[in-house]
Amino acid sequence: MTVGLIALLDDVAFMVRTAAASLDDVAGQAARAGTKAAGVVIDDAAVTPRYVVGFAAERELPIVGKIALGSLRNKLLFLLPGALALSAFAPWAITPLLMLGGAYLCYEGTEKVYETLVPHGAHGHGADDQSAAGDDQAREDRRVASAIKTDFILSAEIMAITLAALPEGSVWMRAAVLSIVAVGITAGVYGLVALIVKADDAGLALARSTAGPPFGRLIRGLGRGVVRGMPILLKLLALIGTAAMIWVGGGILMHGLEAYGLSAPAHIAQQAAEIAAASLPAASGVVAWLVTALASGLLGLVAGGLLIPLTRFVLAPTWQSLTRAGPQSA
């Protein structure tokens, strides 16, 4: 009886150790895969604050919350099952879909650069017309719906990048990793967005502080600094987000081309990174990463530059013709 109990406890202990090892493996894979999507995450955090511009302060956090819930729904209810189905039944489609998403990122990022250099009016991807007719609730609903649609594309790229970074394993392991990445990235991105959009309110409250010496002047100065610095921070985030879109999109295209045998861009980038790292051995890792990112960014700019006229003069008119013809033909 005692021997049987000891054996049972030993089996339980073995199962606990196995489960703990599996959890560690899932967490480690989720962390490694999540870092691959860092560029898209940066852009997501940089883009989202614009959707609360023009609303009352008390509506900012509810709007961010609605977008976050929509983002989580995108990832868990639609994209996660789709990613698992692709990996199980059509793994060959993952690379082309990744490259399609990478091309979209390159186009979006390059379009922003082009708009900055040659102002020509917003191209309207996910933009909300603030002058459109309707009450505040209708405008808020339109803005949230637009943000969730934009998030769907970015979330699809995050999930695809995560899936491509995972090693072979069971479907349950992949589902667990994708779920952790989806929840973790959504919480991180929209938690950061909430802090960003409320930072000016916090700064204003500090600037109006009635605290006396010795810390009152310091608190009010800090508040004024936050209020003055937020526009700069938002512009910096937009710049980082644009650069991240181009860099990540170019990197995805580079690796995709390599997978199909067109390894010249990746080979040139690798050689340039090795030469640069050898010239600065004290910071070889950082230098190699910077050169690789720069090469990916250049490829992204080239791809985006080619896609801008293709989208404007071919794809967009074709889509408009199809959408106009649809109701008439019906």
Residue 83 has pLDDT above 50, yes or no: yes
Where does the pLDDT of residue 213 fall: very low under 50, low under 70, confident under 90, or very high at 90 and above? confident
Residue 142 covered by a domain: yes
Average pLDDT on 322-326 reads 70
Residue 7 has pLDDT above 60, yes or no: no
The label of the residue with tokens 């898209």 reads 40
Q: How far apart are CA 61 and CA 146, in angstroms?
A: 17
Residue 188 covered by a domain: yes
CB of 51 within 8 A of CB of 143? Answer: yes
More confident residue, 218 or 23: 218
Where does the pLDDT of residue 324 fall: very low under 50, low under 70, confident under 90, or very high at 90 and above? confident
Q: How far apart are CA 103 and CA 307, in angstroms?
A: 8
Where does the pLDDT of residue 269 fall: very low under 50, low under 70, confident under 90, or very high at 90 and above? very high
Dihedral sign for Cα 169, 249, 108, 316, please: negative
CB of 43 within 8 A of CB of 154? Answer: yes
- The predicted pLDDT at position 8 comes to 44
Residue 232 covered by a domain: yes
Q: Domain range holding 57?
A: 2-241
Residue 69 has pLDDT above 90, yes or no: yes
Dihedral sign for Cα 105, 111, 117, 119, please: negative
Closest by Cα among 329, 243, 40, 78 to 321: 329
Q: How far apart are CA 279 and CA 281, in angstroms?
A: 6
Residue 99 has pLDDT above 70, yes or no: yes
Average pLDDT on 109-131 reads 68
Could you please report the per-residue DSSP string of 126-148? T---TTSSS-HHHHHHHHHHHHH
Q: How far apart are CA 311 and CA 313, in angstroms?
A: 6
Which own/partner contact pairs does 9-13 have at CB distance under 8 Å and 24+ positions apart?
A: none
Residue 28 covered by a domain: yes
- The predicted pLDDT at position 28 comes to 53
Mean pLDDT of the chain: 80
Q: How far apart are CA 76 and CA 312, in angstroms?
A: 33
Residue 89 covered by a domain: yes
Burial class (CB in 10 A: 0-12, 13-18, 19+), 326: exposed
Q: How far apart are CA 258 and CA 243, in angstroms?
A: 22
Residue 275 covered by a domain: no
Average pLDDT on 246-265 reads 91
Residue 5 has pLDDT above 50, yes or no: no
Residue 72 has pLDDT above 90, yes or no: yes
Cis check for the bond before 214: say yes or no (omega within 30 of 0). yes
Q: How far apart are CA 178 and CA 158, in angstroms?
A: 10
Residue 318 covered by a domain: no
Number of domains in the chain: 1
Q: How far apart are CA 311 and CA 257, in angstroms?
A: 21
User: Model confidence over 15-46: pLDDT tens digits?
Assistant: 434 434 444 455 555 555 455 555 566 666 76
The label of the residue with tokens 């609303």 reads 55
CB of 126 within 8 A of CB of 262? Answer: no
- The predicted pLDDT at position 301 comes to 96
Single-letter amino acid code for the residue at 207: A
Residue 316 covered by a domain: no
CB of 18 within 8 A of CB of 163? Answer: no
